[in-house]
Amino acid sequence: DIEMTQFPSSVSASVGDKVTITCRASLGIGTDLVWYQKKPGKAPKLLIYAASNLQSGVPLRFSGSGSGTDFTLTISSLQPEDFATYFCQQANSFPLTFGPGTTVDI
Amino acid sequence: EVQVLESGGDLVQPGGSLRLSCVASGLNFAGYAMTWVRQAPGKGLEWVSFIRGDGVNTYYAHSVRGRFTISRDNSRNTMYLQMNSLRAEDTAIYYCAKDPFYGLEAFDVWGPGTKVTVSS
């Protein structure tokens, strides 16, 4: 199975900050990487697919990059609604696996 | 608008069974793969199971294989998760989600979730 790790596990930031979250796969997965945003009591929201493709309707301040084993999610200018937990997910092979999450808080 | 809605969550005793349903609307249901993902209290997201649009190919997490069965009835726009031999560690919010067919297993439309509690 492909194990996903994320760091940092949490980050404290302010509105307007640039935030970068890293996700690492235990095996090379090409660009088969997906990012979600999760808020308490809400369903996950798809942000980025295939490592760098922005999902329709997602603000342009979100971007993704990487390939192989190392990936990043960047929020260029943090907005109040971005305080949430972010999960990466590998889509390369079953069983699908999520990273442990990175919480972005104030 | 494409929507999915889960139901069937409940309080069940260890060793018991439960069947979750996920009804989809606003799409050609048979054309899309679907998945179940869960989140235990205070934990991260855990992928549970996945089913192709025709229902032929199914996949499971190691933690549920042999106990859970995913299925779908395309005539009813509904996906199911039959959960047997439930354990305390199966306690979670269970989400169903749709695969938009981007060429990889990403999930773009999610339901609000249904709560499963396994406890005596």
The C-alpha of B59 sits at a distance from chain A's nearest C-alpha, in angstroms, of: 7
Under the banding of pLDDT at 50, 70 and 90, the label for residue B104 is confident
* Closest CB from B35, B104, B108 relative to A32: B104
Predicted confidence (pLDDT) per residue in B9-19, tens digit: 999 999 999 99
Predicted confidence (pLDDT) per residue in A9-19, tens digit: 999 999 999 99
The mean of the pLDDT values for chain B is 97
Q: Give me the pLDDT at residue B102, please.
A: 83
Query: If you average pLDDT over residues A63-84, what whole number do you get?
Result: 97
Predicted confidence (pLDDT) per residue in A32-49, tens digit: 999 999 999 999 999 999
Do B94 and B38 contact (CB within 8 A), yes or no? yes
Token couple for B117: 């509690």
Q: Which residue has the tokens 């709560």?
A: B115
Q: Give me the pLDDT at residue A47, please.
A: 98
**B60 part of contact set with chain A, CB < 8 Å:** yes
Nearest CA in chain B to A34: B106
Under the banding of pLDDT at 50, 70 and 90, the label for residue A106 is confident
Please, is B112 exposed, middle or buried when counting C-beta atoms within 10 Å of its C-beta (0-12, 13-18, 19+)? middle
**A30 part of contact set with chain B, CB < 8 Å:** no
Q: Give me the pLDDT at residue B101, please.
A: 84
**A38 part of contact set with chain B, CB < 8 Å:** yes
- Bridge partners (DSSP) listed for residue A39: none
Do A92 and A99 contact (CB within 8 A), yes or no? no
- Which residues of chain A are within 8 Å of residue B62 when distances are taken between CB atoms? 1, 95
Token couple for B79: 């996906």
Q: Shortest CA distance to B37 belongs to which of A45, A5, A24?
A: A45
pLDDT for residue A91 is more than 90: yes
The C-alpha of B101 sits at a distance from chain A's nearest C-alpha, in angstroms, of: 11
